[in-house]
């Protein structure tokens, strides 16, 4: 009597709570079994923080509004941004999130904070940046812009808090129960490393800052998405899953980039 082939191991998507549905839909549409189990959730800061951001913008207290994540755009919501204020977004996803709340970006930088700093020109006289971000955001953007001569106001508008996965998920992660692990921020990478990731589970990251965190945590990286989008993540996952069983993809060298949160 022949034994039925084992079901394929699902892909574990470790995006923040409430953020996994779109990627899961794409994976399922591609015929890839996948589960979403967050390791963090994102909590808005006080109303006072949001009021401070909006007041600075509408009152002309900044020449540039720099938004580095979809979460910041969603937390800020719709408010009137004066035409004289340049809105700078990091990545196409952040730019789209801004448009969805009625804020039109003036500049869409590459998908990392380092790319944004590189693309910003030296500060003209009196240039002031408002940088609403995560409480755990990297120093890349504010420090880099200050080095270019900008005055930077930093306001924390949300913070990440840890989420403990179900016991069976933690056990599966540590014992090889997943066919791949998808990581979309340095903080999530560190959380996954803290739980333990089995050597047979290839890790796919959304971009260079997350890849750097994977390496810093002592984990091997199987693939990095070619751009920080869900579609690119799916392509990277497909390549990893197509690799011959029992073989590893070429080890991706750790990029010399600062850690950031998306």
- CATH number of the domain bearing residue 57: 3.40.50.10090
E strand spans, the chain: 11-13, 34-36, 40-44, 64-67, 86-90, 107-109, 128-134, 151-162, 180-183, 203-205, 223-224
Mean pLDDT along residues 225-247 = 85
| Confidence at 261, pLDDT banded by 50, 70, 90 | very low
Q: What is the C-alpha separation between 77 and 105, in angstroms, rounded?
A: 14
Report if residue 107 sits inside a domain: yes
Domain co-membership, 69 together with 144: yes
Residue 53, domain member (yes or no): yes
- Reported as a single tens digit per residue, the pLDDT across 66-123 is 999 999 999 999 999 999 999 999 988 899 999 999 999 999 998 889 999 999 999 9
**Calpha distance 185→136 (Å, rounded):** 11
Instruction: Give the structural domain span for 128.
Output: 43-160
- Coarse DSSP helix, strand, coil percentages of the chain, rounded to the nearest 5 percent: 35, 20, 45
**Statement to judge: residues 49 and 74 lie in one domain:** yes
- The structure tokens listed for 33 are 């079994």
pLDDT value at 247 more than 80: no
What is the percent of the chain with per-residue pLDDT over 90, rounded to a whole number?
Answer: 85
Both 102 and 127 in a single domain? Answer: yes
Mean pLDDT, rounded, for 182-191: 96
CB 262 within 8 A of CB 206: yes
Q: Is residue 32 domain-shared with residue 56, that is, in the same domain?
A: no
Over residues 133-150, the mean pLDDT reads 96
Average pLDDT, the chain: 90
**Number of domains composing the chain:** 2
């Amino acid at each position: 009597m022949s034994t039925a082939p084992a079901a394929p191991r699902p892909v574990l998507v470790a995006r923040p709570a409430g953020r996994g549905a779109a990627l899961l839909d794409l994976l399922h549409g591609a015929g890839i079994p996948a589960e979403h189990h967050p390791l963090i959730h994102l909590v808005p800061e006080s109303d006072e923080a949001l009021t401070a951001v909006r007041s600075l913008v509408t009152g002309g207290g900044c020449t540039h509004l720099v938004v580095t994540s979809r979460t910041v755009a969603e937390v800020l919501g719709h408010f009137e941004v004066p035409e004289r204020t340049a809105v700078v977004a990091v990545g196409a996803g952040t730019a789209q999130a801004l448009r969805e709340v009625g804020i039109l970006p003036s500049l869409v930088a590459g998908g990392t904070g380092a790319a944004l700093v590189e693309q910003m020109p030296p500060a003209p006289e009196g240039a002031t940046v408002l940088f609403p971000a995560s409480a755990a955001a990297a120093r890349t953007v504010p420090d880099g812009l200050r080095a270019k001569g900008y005055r930077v106001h930093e306001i924390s508008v949300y913070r990440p808090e840890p989420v403990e996965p179900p016991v069976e998920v933690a056990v599966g992660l540590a014992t090889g129960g997943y066919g791949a692990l998808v990581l979309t921020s340095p903080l999530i990478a560190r959380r996954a490393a803290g739980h333990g990731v089995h050597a047979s589970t290839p890790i796919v990251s959304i971009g260079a800052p997350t890849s750097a965190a994977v390496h810093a945590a002592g984990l091997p990286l199987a693939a990095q998405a070619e751009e920080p989008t869900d579609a690119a993540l799916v392509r990277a996952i497909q390549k990893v899953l197509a690799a011959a069983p029992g073989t590893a993809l070429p080890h991706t060298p750790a990029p010399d980039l600062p850690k950031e949160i998306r």
